[in-house]
Amino acid sequence: MSSRAIRHVDAFTATPLEGNPAAVVDAEGLSTETMQRIALNQHLSETVFLFPPKSPANHAHIRIFTPGTELPFAGHPTIAASHILVSEGRVKLATGEPLLLETGAGVIPVVVSGDPPLYTMTQAKPDFRSYDPPLDDIAAWLGLNPGDVIRAEEVSTGIYWKIAQISSYEAMLRVEPDMMALLKVPHGMAIFCIGASTPNVQIHVRAFAPEAGVFEDPVTGSANGCTAAFIAKHELLPTRDGEIAYTAEQGIELGQPGLVHARVTGIPGDITAHIGGNAVTVLRGELFL
């Protein structure tokens, strides 16, 4: 029997037991099957596995698993992995140097700044696809009334999400998702509205991915990246010098609140989403296999 380090990191928060927890595992030598079993055993929305980089130009290679499947990319485990690499001193960054993480969606740069550290990842260039179900059908899946969903699209900034805009914060408070209906939505659905409960926060987000074994994710970096690209494309918030910056709240309905610091550059023709959050280690231990 061998052992390896495992931690639980709460991402998109500096407060223990808030935000979105991810397990972070030292993984060199583990098989894909074993990693999937560990992710199932942890019962967290994602577990991230740390490997040495494939290229000496990068700092680490990561693989990310939900309890049911491997993902090419996900946001909060990327934040959690960055936090472990930096806070444990496994990577020493020069001033202004980004952390470079190899993922299934390519190399993701993560800028580390501030105290407590804010980890800001630059996600992949967005890809937009039409999403065809009638908006009122989507509203019904969410327990809402006709007219409460005002636009929807499929977006990827590393992984595809169906993004749906809710008409108001008042409507968002009435969401009661039909998980059996959402189970039929490939890759998951994220919903957002303009308006929030937290002071100085502009956007409220929820994300559902029952097909991947995650009924609702507390705070979702990939979905927030797709949402930010969607907001920029449709010019839903004011733009200054080709950029939009805002803060989003998520996880309140689950009792795990977190904040996402979003910035979109290159508007309108070269949109790029930058998604940041804090992180805190809440558990360290050994995994015996």
Among candidate residues 108, 111, 107, 114, the one with its CA nearest the CA of residue 93: 111
Q: How far apart are CA 97 and CA 111, in angstroms?
A: 7
Q: Phi, psi (5° rounding) for residue 272?
A: -140, 135
Among candidate residues 126, 161, 147, 143, the one with its CA nearest the CA of residue 272: 126
Among candidate residues 289, 276, 283, the one with its CA nearest the CA of residue 99: 276
Q: Computed from CA positions of residues 263, 246, 150, 206, in that sequence, does the dihedral angle turn out positive or negative?
A: positive
For the CA atoms of 178, 183, 186, 187, the dihedral, rounded to the nearest 10 degrees, stands at 80
Question: Do 119 and 109 touch, CB atoms closer than 8 A?
Answer: no
Angle, vertex CA 156, rays to CA 128 and CA 120, nearest 5:
125
Q: What homologous superfamily does CATH list for 3-119+279-288?
A: Diaminopimelate Epimerase; Chain A, domain 1 (3.10.310.10)
Q: What are the pLDDT digits (tens) for 112-162? A: 999 999 999 999 999 999 999 999 999 999 999 999 999 999 999 999 999
Q: Report how far apart, in Å, the C-alpha atoms of 114 and of each of 85, 96, 207 are.
A: 16, 12, 28
For strands 60-65 and 70-71, give the pairing: antiparallel
Candidate CATH numbers 3.40.630.30, 3.40.50.720, 3.10.310.10, 3.30.450.20; the one for domain 127-277: 3.10.310.10
Question: Do 231 and 205 touch, CB atoms closer than 8 A?
Answer: no
Statement: the pTM of the whole predicted model exceeds 0.85: yes
Instruction: Note down pLDDT in tens along the chain; length 289 residues.
Output: 889 999 999 999 999 999 999 999 999 999 999 999 999 999 999 999 999 999 999 999 999 999 989 999 999 999 999 999 999 999 999 988 999 999 999 999 999 999 999 999 999 999 999 999 999 999 999 999 999 999 999 999 999 999 999 999 999 999 999 999 999 998 899 999 999 999 999 999 999 999 888 899 999 999 999 999 999 999 999 999 999 999 999 999 999 999 999 999 999 999 999 999 999 999 999 999 9
Q: Phi, psi (5° rounding) for residue 195?
A: 120, 150
Kindly report, as residue ranges, where domains of CATH 3.10.310.10 are found in the chain: 3-119+279-288, 127-277
Q: How far apart are CA 278 and CA 258, in angstroms?
A: 9
